[in-house]
A and B are shown apart, each in its own frame.
Chain A
Amino acid sequence: MLEIDGIHSFYGKAHILNDMSFSVARGEVVALLGRNGAGKTTTMKSIMQLVRPRSGSVSFAGTDITGLPAHKVARLGLGYVPEERRIFTDLTILENLEVGRQSPRAQTPSWTIEALFELFPNLEERRNNRGKALSGGEQQMLTIARTLMGNPSLLLLDEPSEGIAPVIVEQMAKTILKFKADGLTVVISEQNLHFAKMVADRAVIIEGGAKKFDGTFQDLEEDPQVRDAYLSI
């Protein structure tokens, strides 16, 4: 469903992604693992075309999306949940959700505001509150809900567990498993191996802007060298 093929991405002259390739099948949950600065966020942004790869290609559901403007990528059904959350703090929760709204897509779970409130009950209680009045966990829920309003067929979740209370992290894991059960494809970037193991089918380890490992968590367990080299702090 998603093919990343040999992309190189830069910030100015800084070479961030160096020949990054991996693919994601429909219905799969893939975790991008790696340390801070390994290139996880840049990979996400390069898929979304918020950072345009200088070479290589990204294709999604059979369409080459390399170089497309981000809004067109989003309109094809890629939903992006940024690490910094970036909710619109001056808008109410309902208005934030409205910004994300797109029409339903074929063969894709579609969402209504009611369904999202059922998933995240906290948001319903505060639906007329402005974004700046929300806690970190609520903000994270709002970002995910906002992206789901676009009825994506693939969800890019950038470090959803970061800076959130442990109770909510567990709730988040359940939510992601529910997405998977609904048939949503998910790419999640994580530093928290425990969390990733809970939700993902497969791990892609990134270091220095390149892929170092691609396989199941079981494979990873059996290869402690890889784990220690790229994941331990």
Chain B
Amino acid sequence: MATQNLRRVFVWQLPVRFYHWLNALCIVVLCVTGYVIARPPAFQQGAEASYAYWFGINRFLHFAASYIFLFNFIFRLYWGFVGNRYAGWKNFIPTNRKFFQEMWEVIKIDIFLQKDKEHLSIGHNALAGFIYFFVFLAFAVQCLTGFGLYAAMSDWWLPNLFIWVPGLFGGDFDLRQIHHATMWFFIVFSIIHVYLVFYHDYVEGRGETSSIIGGWKFIEEEAFVKEMEEEEKEKEELKRKVMQEKQKA
């Protein structure tokens, strides 16, 4: 067996990694405290109500985490425009045929497990990117419904920006239902997300798991060169097109 040369690529910039872990922490806190809000456990205690406040603290944690979640989410949207090529919004929204072709590749190879094949991508693969697009939508839904429910309790202008949300649904009933159901989307997503990280690490051995800590991924030299050549080709194609346009004009 020939050993392969692996090339180190800096994929996840520090702000992306920071965002990722803060986001993960927020989601864990929000899911746990949110579930407790929806279904408080029956703690029996002898103390008078004036000496106890655990449910209030639980709600406070939920609201505090939700503010951090919101700002972190807004920051990530911003970073989608200024970050490196692996952080840009084009990783998440299909803009060309190649995106769809890669998605199909990934479905064949990684979901339906084509025999002994691997799909090598440096940043997000196309399917993952596209699914993250829906995850961002879910973030938006949680922020809208959550702050929509919270707005009436607050005098601050920021949550009050969301005061129109309950009106869309006629009241808080449906908002709560949506907010609660979307929590399950996060839980299911997290299970799959963690599994797939392990899967890629196991099958490809390229530092998938540690990439979100250090920021580096490793890719086979050949694959890297191939990617570079493709990139060059695309650039030249673009140049040629621009030149043609110029000549026409």
Query: Do A and B associate with each other?
Result: no
